[in-house]
Structures are given as C-alpha cells and as structure tokens.
Amino acid sequence: MSRGFSNPTPDGTSPPIPELIGGCEAMQQVYRLIHKVALSDASVLLLGETGTGKELVARAIHEMSGRRNGPFVRVNCGALTESLLESELFGHVRGSFTGAVSNRTGRFEAAHTGTIFLDEINSTTPKLQVKLLRVLQEREFERVGDTQTIQVNTRVIAASNCDLMDEIESGTFREDLYYRLNVVSIVIPPLRDRRDDIPELVVYFLNIYNEINDRYVIHIDPDAMEAMKDYHWPGNVRELQNYVERAVVLAEGDELTLELLPEVIRLEPQVSRRRGQRVDLETLSYEVVQEGLATATAGENNLHTKIVSRVERELIAQVMAACDNIQIKAAGRLGINRNTLHKKLKEYELDH
C-alpha cells in the first residue's frame, strides 16, 4: 500500500501515513501530531500499550523530518541487561569489560544525523538514565571504558507501554529525564478504542499476507468481522495482524471465515467486549448496592461506609479483570496511583 506524505487536507483532517491504518478521530489526532512534530527536532515520547504501533509512529516521524536521509536506529531497552544496554547505546572500547575484544560503536553514534528510537524506555535503570539525560542535554557521551567525549547530532524518540508518572512516583524513573523526553507526547490508542478501524486493518493485512503466501483470501464472512469487532484485543494491532496471517495460511478458499479465527475470539465475544470497556460506577449492577444494604442492619451508624466499601470492592475487582490483573493498567483506569491500588487490593483481599 503506497501512500505519500503531504500537508493537512482543507477539511482539517490529516492525510494518511504509510503503514498507519485507520481514520477514527483518535488516529486523526495522532496523524496531526506526527505532521507537526516531524517538522522539528524536538524529543518525542510515544505512549501506548504493547502492539499499538509505536515503532511505526516513530518511523513516520523520522521519514517526514529533515533527518529522513539519516539513519533510523531502534533499540529495545527492555531486551537487554543494564551493562549490555549501556554498551549497546554508547559503545565500548577494547578491554573495558570481559568479552570486549574490540572497539564497538554504540547506537547513539550510529544514529548521528538521524533518529534513535528508544523502545520501552521505562525499562532503563536509574544509572543509565543519568547518561541518557546527559545525551539529551549536552549531545555528548563517552564510550564504556573510554575518556574521550563523542559529540552526536541525534534526535531521540522514546516509547513506553506504562505510565511514566507512576514510575517516577515509585522511584524507578528520573523526573528530569521524563521532562526532557516529553517535549511532545503522542498517545496511540488501543485497538479496542478504535473498533471502526478494524475492517480497514483486516483488509490491509489480508493484502499483505495474500501476496506473501500466494493466496487469494479476499472475502470476509460478516460473522467473522463481527467477532473481530467484539473482541477486546489485549495484543492490539499486532495481535490482529497475527490472526489475519493465521487465517490466510489456514484458509482453503477465498473467504476469511469465523472458523479460521482462534477460539478466544469465536467463543467469548460477550466476555471480551465487557473486558475491553472502561469500567466505572455506572457499570456496577443495582444488585451490588442492594446486597450492601442487606448486609448492614438499620441500627448501624456505619451503613454508608459498608455500602461504599462493597461497591468499591466490586469496582476494583471488575477493573482488575478488565486489565488482565495488570495493576498499572487498572490504576490508570481507576484514576489512582499504583500504591493506592495495591493497598486497596490487600484491604479487600483481592491481591491473590
């Protein structure tokens, strides 16, 4: 699918960007921000769940910028230990540590005149964050085991799949580095919040995997599409991409049918839809409040506290289920910090 870069259209919407599929309002906001930040050299922080396409957004910013002729270098900060990541980012000199048998150029140096994309920046240690802060501020660093200062002209785009403010509060992420990275932030919405884009995404991936596998799956069963639109997509666009590839490989005809989708999509549409929704007090059943009233006698002066506790416990339990028991996600949906949620889970014996 070939698409060119251009300026915002007269009607105020932003033109499509290669490999970024979808026209919902949430994605239109992403496109508008990409077009704006690409014209600058400002650091960008991409926020979004795993599989939402943060690397595609980073590449789009690079390709639309004045650095497009320079290198685009990606580093997965969560895939390496601290020592290996430091060497990967800044390079090392021979003999600086066991196994350093020769000099090595780091990723920052390799990205000179271009862009470096630091994925899962939340995985870095405080010690390494100090060196990252210096690069952002001074545009210089030393290789591991060396004293010679290296100057670089590299744009930094970072990404995180969790709320960095929670990491700052817990003491695992430096606040000054956060503000250096967060000159402009772009939030990439999860797939469950852009369900209207699913048909376009499915067709896009069908075209790709038909060509790769020399197949001709061009029709989509309405029941299969409905099931995909109902599913909560914890793995986001990446998960959808994998399932479309699976369907193309397994298809015996020219149609993507419901039977070609995994059981988790076929058999649990109602559960999946509920899990994907934002849960608040309005989603709690009337029976929960009534049960709270039934457990308290009319003579007790703590009736209000008991009812509130009952409703709060049910709310937290539902949100935790919706977030697959990931506390960072649940705390974000509830609008509280992770430490508060941890205390509530323990208080209501939900921490198991």
Q: What is the mean pLDDT of the chain?
A: 83
Report the range of poorest mean pLDDT among 97-101, 217-221, 243-247, 291-295. Answer: 291-295
Tens digits of per-residue pLDDT, 280-333?
Answer: 444 444 445 455 555 554 455 566 566 667 778 878 888 887 777 778 777 777
Among all chains, which residue has been given the structure tokens 């999509």?
265
pLDDT > 70 in the chain, percent: 82
How many Å from the N-terminal Cα to the C-terminal Cα in the chain?
A: 47
Backbone angles phi, psi at 78, to 5 degrees: -85, -5
Whether the per-residue pLDDT at 215 is higher than 70: the answer is: yes
Cβ neighbour number for residue 137 with a 10 Å cutoff = 11
- CB neighbour list of residue 137: distance below 8 Å, 6 or more residues apart: 180
Q: Is the pLDDT of residue 6 over 50?
A: no
pLDDT digits (tens, 9 = 90+) for 67-120: 999 999 999 998 888 888 988 899 877 766 666 667 788 899 999 999 999 999
What's the rounded Cα separation, in Å, for the pair 301 and 298?
Answer: 8
Between 305 and 255, the higher pLDDT residue: 255
Domains with residue ranges and CATH for the chain: 25-189 (3.40.50.300), 192-274 (1.10.8.60), 280-347 (1.10.10.60)
Q: How far is CA 295 from CA 286, 287, 303, 308, 312, in A?
A: 15, 12, 9, 12, 15
| Window from 186-195, 256-265, 292-301, 317-326 with minimum mean pLDDT | 292-301
Question: How high is the pLDDT of residue 148?
Answer: 86
pLDDT, average across residues 147-169: 91
CB of 57 closer than 8 Å to CB of 186: yes
Mark 199-227 as b/e (b = at least 16 C-beta within 10 Å).
eebbbbbbeebbeeeebebeebeeebeeb
Q: How many helices (H) and strands (E) does the chain have?
A: 16, 9
* Model pLDDT, residue 306: 67
pLDDT, mean of residues 201-219: 95
Q: Which residue has the higher pLDDT, 328 or 184?
A: 184
Q: Which residues contact 270 (CB under 8 A, 6 or more apart)?
A: 230
CA distance 262 to 38: 39
Strands 140-142 and 149-151, sheet pairing = antiparallel
Percent of the chain with pLDDT over 90: 53
- Entry pTM: 0.72
Sequence-distant (6+) residues with CB within 8 A of 317 are 348, 350
